[in-house]
Amino acid sequence: MKAASTRGRWWIAIGLLIGLPLGWTVAHLESDGRTRDARGGVLPRAPDTLAESEPPRATIGAPPAPADPRVDASLPPAGDDGEQRVAPASTLPLLHEGLLEFARGGIRSGWSESRPEPLPDLLLGEGMEDFERSVRAKPLAIGRALARRQDEYERAVSHGDGFLLLEKMLAGQAGEEPLSVASDPEAFERFFKRRTVGGSLNGLDFVEASGETAGDGATLSFPPGVFRLRKFMRGTKGFPRDLTIRGAGIDRTLLVVEELSTRATLTNLSIQDCTVSAGYLFDLRREGCSFLFERVRFVGFDIGAGSSCLISAPSALVLARDCRFEGGYGRSPRSGVVFDVRSSGLLARFERCRLFQVAIGSVHYSDGARLVFVGCELENVFERPTSSEAMTFLGCSIDDFDSGTDEVVTLDLDHLFPGWEEAAGR
């Protein structure tokens, strides 16, 4: 018995010597979260069933995933490109307290217009939710509306509707587009193409106050000579569109014109191959105008009364080719002005023209107007701005009037058309 007892104690001692170190080793290995083999080597870890990089897949019958709080439910769903309309995180919360307080005050005021009791907080909360949805949705709607308007505008301008461009200039929304268009001869010419073509009429039928009227697209032809147009088209309700007045040559036909005036828009009036003597040639008070001048000499507008201008209008679109705008023939040779357009709605292009002793200074139009001179001769010009975004000169010769050394020149129309006053019936 004693021998057996002694052997038992030995076995217990051996077990303790082996078991305690082994137990400590297993506990240490499990503490780092990895599984090891019996020799301490790390065993490969089994993949997680739901890895962090992979979202859980929906299962049939499972409740829907919560909505992304950044997605505005009031906005349209994702487009064809799959892009979801998500508000940037930096915009959340979207509305600042000042705007929210303004909205609360407006909602309460609207409620009190027909209800005597205070607006319940529950209904106020609903109203504020509607307000925020509207605020979130409005920029998208505005952007779409602006895109549609710009598309319509570009289509119209590409088809030659220059009045839309004038409207943008008047509204201060045109940017650099007017200068770009006026600098492009083909693009600018589209504004002056005839949309209607009428018959050819004898211009002599319109001399004096004959009561004759011309329709849209008509061409009035004048032979060589001197002719006075009294109250031309004055009795008509609206000036005809695409009307052409044509002479037999800049030194062969003289038209003495009393001011042309209409309350309607004057669209694409073309004057060709003649000399025109007028005080105010165009005195337009209400609507804009568009003119095409080719091989025309304009004289007599330096009368020293009013603005002493050739064209007075709320807005104007002008293309002049091979024309002469000459002061010195009127009663006050120092006063001649080409334009009196007191708005930003002035867009003009001059090609191979001569401007003599006339004012083209910025005092006669507002910021935003654009005038382009190409291959022109400017001699003794008054009040030309030395630096102005309104004017662009390409290949021009310029001689500014110097009051210290230059003298104002007085010219006589008899040198060009002898006996013109008698012929015109004065």
Round to whole Å and give the CA distance between 213 and 206.
8
Helix, strand or coil for residue 357?
coil
Q: How far is CA 127 from CA 75, 103, 112, 283, in A?
A: 18, 9, 14, 55
pLDDT at position 233? 62
Q: How far is CA 173 from CA 177, 188, 201, 368, in A?
A: 9, 19, 41, 10
Which regions of the chain are under pLDDT 50?
A: 1-5, 14, 16-17, 20-22, 24-76, 78-79, 82-84, 86-92
What burial class does residue 8 get, using C-beta atoms within 10 Å of its C-beta: 0-12 exposed, 13-18 middle, 19+ buried?
A: exposed
Report the DSSP pairing between strands 282-283 and 200-202. Answer: unpaired
pLDDT at position 7? 53
Round to whole Å and give the CA distance between 407 and 271.
32
pLDDT at position 367? 74
Gyration radius (Cα) of the chain, Å = 42
pLDDT at position 241? 86
pLDDT mean across residues, the chain: 77
Tokens of 13: 């001692």
Q: How far is CA 170 from CA 107, 182, 199, 348, in A?
A: 37, 16, 35, 15
Element (H, E) at 269: strand 266-277
Residues paired with residue 42 on neighbouring β-strands, in sequence order: 36
154 Rama class: left (phi>0) / alpha (psi -120 to 50) / beta:
alpha
Q: How far is CA 212 from CA 202, 208, 209, 216, in A?
A: 11, 10, 8, 14
pLDDT at position 386? 55
Residues paired with residue 277 on neighbouring β-strands, in sequence order: 256, 299
Of 224, 144, 164, 158, give the one whose Cα is nearest residue 188: 158
Q: How far is CA 164 from the centre of its chain?
A: 9
Round to whole Å and give the CA distance between 168 and 177.
10
pLDDT at position 38? 39
Helices (H) and strands (E) in the chain, counts: 7, 18
